[in-house]
Every structure is written in C-alpha cells, then in structure tokens.
Structure 1
C-alpha cells in the first residue's frame, strides 16, 4: 500500500473515529478541514523524503573540517541567538604500526593517548571569541585564541593567535597527517596578528593579514621550549656541526609578516570550484637585528562534483638569511630541519559517502599526495602519500591512514633527510568530539 495512502487512513481514523463515536455524523466543513490537514502533512512528508534523498546522494562538508568544527555544531539554538560562550572539545587516542621501528613491529604496534582539547566559541556584545587549547602528555599548546568583530555586511576582523591565510582552505588535505606543506609551515599555521576577512560576495573573497610574530612571542618570547607549539615555524639557523634534530644554537624567528589570500568561486551545474592565489612576506630576526627575510607563494584550486573532491596546490618558499642553506623549525616539542628554499606540489582526491550503519553516518575515502623538491640544500625529495578513510559515528570521528613516505617527519624521516628508501605507517586516530 502506498505510504501516503496509509498515512491518510491513519490520520482519518485518528481524527474522524472519535468524532463519529461522539456525534454519529461529521459536517462537510469538518471533513474539508480534516482533508486539508492531511494534504498538508502529506506535502510535508514528501519534502522530508526529498531532503533525505539529497543527503544520501551528496555529503558536501569536508570530513576533516567536520571533525574540527564538531564542538561548534553542537551549540544550542539558544546559545546562538544570545550572548554567551559555548564550550566544546575532544579526546583523542592513537594507534600506529610502523616499518621504521623494530621495537614497534615487535610489539605489534603502539596505542597511545593523543590529546585532550578544549574549544571556546561565542559572542558577547557583538564581539566574538574563538579559542582552542591542546593538552598532550609532553606539552600544552594553544592552537588559536582570537576575538572577532563584523564591522560591515561582508567584512570582519580577527585579532590574536589567528590563522595565516594561505593556500587551500580550510585545509589542503583530508587525512590525519595533513599535507607535506604543514611541515613547512604552509598549512594550518597560526600566528599572533590581525586578519581582515571579506566573505564570499560576487563570487570572490579576500583575506589580508599582518602578523607581528609567531604564536610564542617571536625571538624573545618568554617560553621554556620554543618547539612546544601546534604549527611549524622557523626557530633558528641550522649551522655546521648541528644534527638535523638538535636544538639550534642560533635563535631566529619571523616577524612583521604580511599575508594575503584571494579566491574566486564559480559553479557550473553540479561542479563547484574555488581557484586562488596566496602570498606572504616577512622579516627574520635574531634578537638583536634583522637577519633576513622570507617569502612564500601558492596557486591553489579546490573542486567538488557531487560526492567527489579534488584539491591542487603548487607552493614555493624561500628564507633569505646570509646564504644559509638550512633552517631549524619546531613543533610538537620536536626540532627538525628543512631546506632554506624549496618547491612543493600536492594533489588530493576524496569521495564522500553518507551511510546508515548503526551509529556510522558518514565515510570519506581519500588519497593525498605531496612532494617537496628543488631543495636549496640538495637533499633528496620529501614524498608522502596517504591513503585512508575517515568515519563519522555520533560523537566519534576516526581516521584510518596508510602512509607511504620518504624523508617525511613522523614517518621515519626528516624534511632534510637524504634517504632513497620509503617507509610505511599504519595509523588509527580515534577522537570523541563534544
């Protein structure tokens, strides 16, 4: 039996039956009213079915973005309409099995605590607040902490530890490890400054930023360990005799950086595409005087067709510091080394699939490839390919990644490594977002 017909019978029984028992008759006006109510309910049911059908054929939200924004999405409608701060967060654990550690292989892999994080977001008196602090076993790091104000229909300003506008947004990757650009400080980087953001209007958007220094206060920031940070930045010069993982003997830091990102959006049928260009330029300071400068440039594109995503990015960077060929960088309480100048190219493909399998509601399959080449220190290319799937299930969001890489941090290598061998890492990151 047609479900709309069944709904009509049930509704008619519910409304008409009691009336008939009481009055043994129903007026024509009452019947017309009941029929109108049933028709309205049938139309509403049809609308809900169309919405459900649309949701099963296309998942438009990038899964990586969904995981990061989960604490925001659970805010109540009341919290959105009134002044106040919403608290969210995540607890994550991590399993890995690697080719480059005999001990890890002998143990059958390692399962560790990853992070506990807290997120704050809200608005008081038209001034917004966004913040995230991350607690690791080995360090505590503020990812971002900034206030914002929308001063016109299309423009807003953010000030504090805020994101440097550069490259594909919000991420140039779908996997847990980001792209090779992240380890160069060119993806998901946060520094202390101010950003003016123009929302998408007339198909284009513009972000303009000025950053006084990095998130730890620059070259003379009062911190115990300048590598205790979320995003990668220059922390020193890599001089002769130092190991690639050593704390640098000569301290350096970025300052007075200007950054801009322009993007144009267009749509043709079911294909939506953003193409853009990004650039940044700033100074390098040694604590006493200007030691040099640095620049980066990127061309990027981000497309979606139905369930498919495609990302492309070509980036170049240069640190011009007294003919220095290598620089020391730091993040995650860990020092590493990269070439003072290099080129990077990334290519990412992903496929979204909405499912209804118990608590599991969404899958995203992806393959992310990146290579860093033309290095000024003549070391071998850095290559990383990540094949995996992310799984959304209620408050749980999990990455299953197979990483195949060489000269790649956290996959048995370094950005300044010179190995010709590829290493592998199977990684499962399980997060509960609240």
Structure 2
C-alpha cells in the first residue's frame, strides 16, 4: 500500500469530526488550530514508526526466504564424484657400484650404469581401480604387477591379476636398495598371478587372504623365452647332483595353487606404534606332467615406530618338499641362482628419519639392515648380509647410499647356495628420478 494513501486514510478517520464542525460553523479559534497541528505531528510520528516496523518485517522475511532457498540449493546440488581416469608415472634410475669381488671394477674405480626405466599406471574407471608397473632393463623387460581392484565396502577390497603375495612385514622388510635376504628366497615383495581379499585396518586388526594359480610368468607352461626374466624370485627347477649353481635347471619346476594369509594386529601406546603379525603360505610344485611336491613358509613379524625411530623384526622358515632334492633353482633379473630346499631366516632392521631443509633435500633416512639365512638343508654356509646406508629425498630425486657387507649373498659376489667363509663388500649409489 502506498505510504501517502495510508496517511490520508489515517488523517481522514482521525479528523472527520473536527473538520466537519469547521465546515458547519466556519469558525475555528487559534487554540483549536494549534491543537490540530499537534495531533497531526503526533500521527505523522506514529505513522513513521509503523512504516519502519513494516520495512523491518519485510526485510526479515526476504532474507529468511533467500536463506531457505540457498540451503535448498546446497542440499539438492549433486555431490561431485571423483573423475575417472588413469594417471601415468614412473622412474628413471642409474646405479654406481664399487666392489671388492671384481678386480676389473676396482681397477676402474667402480662402474656407473643405467638401472631401469619404469612406467606406472594407476587410476579408477567407475568402481574398478587399475594398478600396473612395467620395468625396462638393458637385458630384459619385466612386469612387476598388473591388477584390477574393487572395493566392496569401507573395510574390504579385492585385487586380481599379478598382485602381491601377502607375507611378512609390509610393504617391505627392509629400508635399503637391496631389500633383505628374504627377497632372494621369494619371501619379500613377491608378485604372482592370483586374487587377494584385503581387509583394511579396523578394530586394530587387518587380514589378507590370497589364492595364486601360478607365478607371474604363467607357471610351468608359461609362454616365455626365459623363465628367469622376472622381477620376483620364484622356483624354476630342481638342482640335480653335479649341476652348477648358476646353470639353467635341467628339471623344470614351478609353483601352483598357492594359498597365502597374513594377519596383523596394530596398537598404539603414547608415541609408540607397532604392528604384530603372522604369515603363512602353502602350495604345490609341478614338473609339467605331474605334481612333483609342495612347499610351505611361515613368519612372525614386528614393524614398529617410536618418534623418528623404526624397528623391524622377522623370523621366517620355508620348505620345498621334493623327493631327494636338497637344493632348488630360482630365477630373477635374467639370472639363475640356487638356494637350499629348506632353511630359516632372521632379519633385524633399524632406521631413523631426519627432516632437513638443505636446498632441494627435504628428508634423510639412516638405516642398518641385517639378515641371516641358516639351518640350510643342502649343508651350504650361512648367507649373511648387512647394509648400512642413508636414503635422500630431494624433490623428484630419491637416492640410496649403501655399504653392503655380505657373504654367500647374490649380487654381492656370492650365491644363496655358496660355501664361502669370506665377506665381500659393495659400495652402491642408486639415483632415481620419480615422476
């Protein structure tokens, strides 16, 4: 309603009597006129107050209506879903080594070589995730892993393809470039073809259950040119008497139908966090025609951290049960080696994290990793490896500086089935750019 129209109505209703009297008598005294002016001023003031209250109420209603509309828009707006897509990453690595077991290497002051070029794929398409890594060496190409995953709910997911065998301290039982002695037994960072059901940490415990049809190269009848062209160590044959420890085995063997399980309990007390776990696996061995035997392994493991300190412990035992065979052939990195058919392994790792601000360098990790393989069924000498070193993080660069002191250790002048009592040394620098 128009404000001036409202004022006219109020004045008309308030002064109808006096105005009518004025028209009848046509006589108005000065006192009566002054009184009328006072009443008019009072009514104008009241009208202004009413208008202010009306404007306030109207403004409140408008603001409230706008707020409700905004809330409704937010509540009904669609939730942004993560975009589908595959991310490509990778690394380029080079390696320098100076060794005690190669006279030529010592005479040259060490050797600097290309290590690997690798590509990583990771992403999601719909509810299915993809993970893959392929590695290119001078002497071979190898797929480390390639699997798809699906998450059933907040706690459970499944991975299928060339995926990691759940066993031992995770993700690694080491901090150095060479891993631990377990890696060369096929008991660390091993990948095979199968399916793994994973339960995330909930109520302080987690569980991984896996079934692997065969190794990553298709088992005993896999269509490959060289069964040692692989990233993970696996059995490739039985060693006959008189056969060289580095020879291609005359009797081929491969694992199949392997079940693996890993249970871990997590707890935290103050600044101490720890994971206590147990792992086990069991599977069959095949010669291409018949079942030739079976194999088993188990481990107890601890992975803990107190402030910047890390401590890892693991005790493992394995056995390849094949009639009249005390030594088996294993393969990896386009290289055949030998290990005892049965042995025990113990590892102890200590590490310290140090955050720094020195140019591009942002983090250092100092470590000492020790491992020993003993009680071997082939009566060969113990395998011992101690690695003291530091890793350096600097942007996309990640570098390992390792001093290795070992005997009967692959890639440090020995074999897992060696009989040497002498220790060898290797100073190694591995420089990687990760993208």
User: Which whole-Å CA distance do the structure 1 matches of 2:153 and 2:397 have between them?
Assistant: 37
Report the counterpart of residue 243 of structure 2 in structure 1.
Answer: 242
Report the counterpart of residue 21 of structure 1 in structure 2.
Answer: none
Q: Deviations over 1:211-246 (max 9, x none)?
A: 000000000000000000000000001101210000
User: Which whole-Å CA distance do the structure 2 matches of 1:344 and 1:82 have between them?
Assistant: 46
* 1:355 Cα deviation from its structure 2 partner: 0.3
User: Which whole-Å CA distance do the structure 2 matches of 1:207 and 1:323 have between them?
Assistant: 34
Q: Deviations over 1:362-415 (max 9, x none)?
A: 000000000000000011000000000000000000000000000000000000
2:105 match: secondary structure: helix
* 1:80 Cα deviation from its structure 2 partner: 9.6
User: Which whole-Å CA distance do the structure 2 matches of 1:401 and 1:350 have between them?
Assistant: 13
User: Which whole-Å CA distance do the structure 1 matches of 2:363 and 2:179 have between them?
Assistant: 20
Report the TM-score when normalising by structure 2.
Answer: 0.81
2:183 match: secondary structure: helix
Could you say which structure has the greater relative contact order, defined with CA pairs below 8 angstroms and 6 or more residues apart? 1
Report the counterpart of residue 231 of structure 1 in structure 2.
Answer: 232
Report the counterpart of residue 319 of structure 1 in structure 2.
Answer: 320
2:413 match: secondary structure: coil
2:400 match: secondary structure: strand
User: Which whole-Å CA distance do the structure 2 matches of 1:163 and 1:368 have between them?
Assistant: 22
Task: Tell me if 1:305 matches 2:315.
Answer: no
Report the counterpart of residue 354 of structure 2 in structure 1.
Answer: 353
Task: Tell me if 1:91 matches 2:92.
Answer: yes
User: Which whole-Å CA distance do the structure 1 matches of 2:154 and 2:118 have between them?
Assistant: 33
Within 5 Å, which residues of 2 pair with 1:141-290? 141-290=142-291
Report the counterpart of residue 406 of structure 1 in structure 2.
Answer: 407
* 1:152 Cα deviation from its structure 2 partner: 1.6
Q: Deviations over 1:147-199 (max 9, x none)?
A: 00001220000000000000000000000000000000000000000000000
User: Which whole-Å CA distance do the structure 1 matches of 2:243 and 2:265 have between them?
Assistant: 45
Within 5 Å, which residues of 2 pair with 1:61-100? 81-100=82-101
User: Which whole-Å CA distance do the structure 1 matches of 2:243 and 2:319 have between them?
Assistant: 21
1:90 match: secondary structure: strand
1:81 match: secondary structure: coil
* 1:323 Cα deviation from its structure 2 partner: 2.5
Judged with a 3 Å threshold, the aligned counterparts in structure 2 of structure 1 residues 317 and 80 are, in CA distance, closer, same or farther, namely farther
User: Which whole-Å CA distance do the structure 1 matches of 2:311 and 2:209 have between them?
Assistant: 25
Report the counterpart of residue 139 of structure 1 in structure 2.
Answer: 140
Report the counterpart of residue 50 of structure 2 in structure 1.
Answer: none
User: Which whole-Å CA distance do the structure 1 matches of 2:346 and 2:245 have between them?
Assistant: 23
User: Which whole-Å CA distance do the structure 2 matches of 1:368 and 1:151 have between them?
Assistant: 38
Report the counterpart of residue 70 of structure 1 in structure 2.
Answer: none
User: Which whole-Å CA distance do the structure 1 matches of 2:408 and 2:198 have between them?
Assistant: 36
Report the counterpart of residue 335 of structure 2 in structure 1.
Answer: 334
Q: Deviations over 1:121-146 (max 9, x none)?
A: 00001100000000000000000000
* Higher-Rg member (1/2): 2
**Runs of 4+ residues deviating >4 angstroms:** none
2:259 match: secondary structure: strand
Aligned length: 356
1:411 match: secondary structure: coil
Q: Deviations over 1:2-26 (max 9, x none)?
A: xxxxxxxxxxxxxxxxxxxxxxxxx
Report the counterpart of residue 367 of structure 1 in structure 2.
Answer: 368
Report the counterpart of residue 345 of structure 2 in structure 1.
Answer: 344
1:219 match: secondary structure: helix
Within 5 Å, which residues of 2 pair with 1:110-149? 110-149=111-150
User: Which whole-Å CA distance do the structure 2 matches of 1:123 and 1:421 have between them?
Assistant: 51
CA RMSD across the alignment: 0.9
Judged with a 3 Å threshold, the aligned counterparts in structure 2 of structure 1 residues 286 and 94 are, in CA distance, closer, same or farther, namely same
User: Which whole-Å CA distance do the structure 1 matches of 2:155 and 2:128 have between them?
Assistant: 16
User: Which whole-Å CA distance do the structure 2 matches of 1:359 and 1:342 have between them?
Assistant: 44
- Segments of structure 2 that go 5 or more residues without pairing to the other structure are 1-79
User: Which whole-Å CA distance do the structure 1 matches of 2:221 and 2:81 have between them?
Assistant: 40
User: Which whole-Å CA distance do the structure 1 matches of 2:344 and 2:238 have between them?
Assistant: 20
User: Which whole-Å CA distance do the structure 1 matches of 2:374 and 2:418 have between them?
Assistant: 12
Judged with a 3 Å threshold, the aligned counterparts in structure 2 of structure 1 residues 377 and 152 are, in CA distance, closer, same or farther, namely same
User: Which whole-Å CA distance do the structure 2 matches of 1:152 and 1:84 have between them?
Assistant: 21
Report the TM-score when normalising by structure 1.
Answer: 0.82
User: Which whole-Å CA distance do the structure 2 matches of 1:290 and 1:177 have between them?
Assistant: 34
- Segments of structure 1 that go 5 or more residues without pairing to the other structure are 1-78
User: Which whole-Å CA distance do the structure 2 matches of 1:404 and 1:179 have between them?
Assistant: 13
